[in-house]
Structure 1
Amino acid sequence: MNIRTAHRDELPLLQDLELAAGVLFRNIGMTDVAEHPPPALEVFERYRADGQLWVSVDEADRPTGFVFVDLVDGGVHIEQISVHPDHQGHGIGRQLISCVDAWAARQGVGVVTLSTFRSVPWNGPYYMRLGFTELPRDAATPGLEKLLAAETALGLDPAERIFMTRKVAVQ
């Protein structure tokens, strides 16, 4: 498997990939999350143009997963990460996060954060296995609180959301 920056012509494929990944949420009764529309092409393009969108690709160079990040309050925040269900369970998510770690280190940023569902097995528990720890709510930065407010406005239950953090060795 290879990870590289996304190409502009792949952005519609990333939307399709995000929709496919939603089936896992539907299977556990989180229909609202499963049916949430993927990011707009303009959103993907902004991250791509800023060099903050990476894709994992298969042997035919087709995207199998993606991750994009923001800089939030001195840290790198994983805004979205998705792996197509046909390719899950092969370490793609872990490799995408390692790519983010390496990018953060090159930027001189020593921490990566994300927000996720506390109890969904491939969310909070998965990230804990990758070395992320839960950030106490009272330790959330203003930028992270703003992200939580945006998630809440989209209909996500803030009681089910957690922030997680992981240190990065700065180069």
Structure 2
Amino acid sequence: MRIRAATPADLPLLQDIERAAGAPFRTLGMTEIADDEPPALELLERFRKAGHAWVAEGDETEGDGAEGEEAEGGGDAGRPVAYLVGEPVDGAFHIEQVSVHPDAAHRGVGRTLIAYAADHARDQGLTGLTLTTFTEVPWNAPYYERIGFRALTEPELTPGLRKIRATEAEHGLDR
């Protein structure tokens, strides 16, 4: 697996990854999340131009080995299978979105992208990483806790994080 900066040509593929990554939410009855549109190309481009959009490329062993993939040149080699976008918020790097295509799940791809973002944050003099997630989704909050995140208490929320949570609540995402 290789992590690299997203390119303009990658952006529509990131939307495809987001759609596929949303599908499992349907099994939890969260159809509004499963059916939610991915980030707009303009927003993804804003993260990319700021240097805050990275992709994980697949390798020959990833993917489902479908006939069409083989005909196109060997599985997912060089093709994004996951992405992470974010931005500095109140002295930390806030992960706005990290999504892994289900075909590449359970291989450490998300963890590798998060570690890459942590290195980037450290290099930029930022104090840590933040993100928001659905706490009741079995593969979200417990996963993030296993890799070192913790829930912040209300007094620990910075003004920027409060604003992010308020915006998410307006969109029905703060459950």
- Structure-2-length-normalised TM-score: 0.88
| Gap regions ≥5 residues in structure 1 | 161-171
Q: Which residue of 2 aligns with 1:63?
A: 80
Asked whether the equivalents of residues 22 and 33 of structure 1 are also in contact (C-alpha less than 8 Å), the reply is: yes
Q: What are the equivalent positions in structure 2 for 1:78-117 lying under 5 Å apart?
A: 78-117=95-134
**Using the alignment, how far apart are the partners of 1:90 and 1:137 within structure 2?**
33
- Return the letter of the residue paired with 2:85: F
| Gap regions ≥5 residues in structure 2 | 60-76
Q: Which residue of 2 aligns with 1:168?
A: none
Q: What are the equivalent positions in structure 2 for 1:1-171 lying under 5 Å apart?
A: 1-59=1-59, 60-156=77-173, 158=174, 160=175
Residue 122 of structure 1: CA displacement?
A: 1.5
**Using the alignment, how far apart are the partners of 2:138 and 2:116 within structure 1?**
22
Q: How many residue pairs align between the two structures?
A: 158
Runs of 4+ in 1 over 6 A off after TM superposition: none
CA offsets per residue over residues 61-104 of structure 1, 9 Å max, x none?
00000001111111110000000001000000100000000000
- Structure-1-length-normalised TM-score: 0.90
CA offsets per residue over residues 29-80 of structure 1, 9 Å max, x none?
1101111100000001111111100000012200000001111111110000
Residue 138 of structure 1: CA displacement?
A: 2.4
Identity rate, percent: 49
